[in-house]
Chains A and B, each alone.
Chain A
């Protein structure tokens, strides 16, 4: 580079623009935008505040007290909310004997009614189940304890009492199911019969024994 080059004003290719024009063009440009801390527009603040108020009302209205009470059936029944189906509504439907059997009885007496050899008596061809309706109702209501001979085999165990957990309708349904399944054919049992037996034996606190039921 010689001195001569530096002193020459810059010429563009068409030799029409000089350095002053270029400066003017540059001055017309707005500065490069930069990110920074801009104030949000006022309407955005309004939306935010409205949302915060709405959230507060929503939590106050639907948050319960952030406690477990809202999930409890009894509490729900009291406040008549429809958040949960109450147990009373579930019980209004007539129980299905097979469903009750699979829920409560299958564990021991097995789904085929054969029981577990040496431990839990079968229900198939069981004279205790298929005889007088009162006997199986008593067993289900208050349980059974001690040695009992079922279909030629002796069992010595404990059957729990289910009277506290099952309603009259459920006991009637499940006994009717057991008395008419797996080749059994005995008459069905009505909820009224169960209610009758339950009332007559309401003072009982211990399990039955085979000897007591035979009487």
Chain B
């Protein structure tokens, strides 16, 4: 047994130190100098509320928010937008990058699908807009109310979601709660299609 114990531990320490410098320190210093791109606006209050709904409902488990360059997957061919850069996440704390893509990437969903109606119907029951979708429905973001008449609805100022009759219980009408409207506002706001020239 000729292991030099101090030397061994110095080797372990050097390995950890080099890894920490390369993977944590240097990227951290680089990212600390990043400024938001000109096209990126801070979230509105409603979008921030929607973001908390996004976190609460666990959207991140099936949806990523990071688009990759050509050669790192089919993101560009799927029309998911230009590759994301650190500046795109300037206002995101914590970042919701996500690691799973059971559903599509949502980094530019606001550009691909800017329709509020579509998002509300889709959240109430994904099958109503996308046949064969495996996304779970989120009915607790909505209220089912008895449909007295359109005048009553208009007087109350409720946001009626135009879901197809086959998905709505008989004689009911679907009303979006504030949570659903906030989440939709956040989703429609996810639009990072502004140009970035790499000089940030």
Interface set of A (CB-CB < 8 Å, partner B)? 35-36, 66-69, 71-75, 78, 83-85, 90, 103-104, 107-108, 110, 116-120, 156-160, 165
Contacts and interface: CB of A to CB of B under 8 A. Distances in A.
A66 B86 CA distance: 12
B162 A74 contact: no
Given A73-B82, A84-B69, A107 B113 contact: yes
Interface of B: 2, 26, 30, 69-71, 76, 79, 82-83, 85-86, 111-118, 121, 128-131, 162-165, 193, 195-199
A35 B1 CA distance: 10
For the complex of A and B, list the 7 residue pairs with the smallest distance between their C-beta atoms, beginning with the closest: A69-B198, A160-B114, A75-B198, A71-B69, A119-B162, A68-B85, A71-B83
B72 to A, nearest CB: 8
Main SS class of interface, A: mixed
B164 A118 contact: yes
B165 A72 contact: no
A73 B69 CA distance: 8
Given A71-B69, A74-B198, A107-B130, A116 B115 contact: no
Given A72-B85, A108-B129, A119-B164, 15 more contacts: A67-B198, A68-B86, A68-B198, A72-B82, A74-B195, A75-B198, A90-B76, A107-B113, A108-B118, A116-B121, A116-B164, A118-B164, A157-B115, A158-B115, A160-B115
Nearest to B196: A72
Contacts of B165: 117-118
Contacts of B116: 158
B177 to A, nearest CB: 19
B69 A157 contact: no
B30 to A, nearest CB: 7
B39 to A, nearest CB: 13
A33 B61 CA distance: 59
A100 B63 CA distance: 23
A117 to B, nearest CB: 5
A51 B162 CA distance: 66
Contacts of B117: 119-120, 157-158
Contacts of A72: 82-83, 85, 196-198
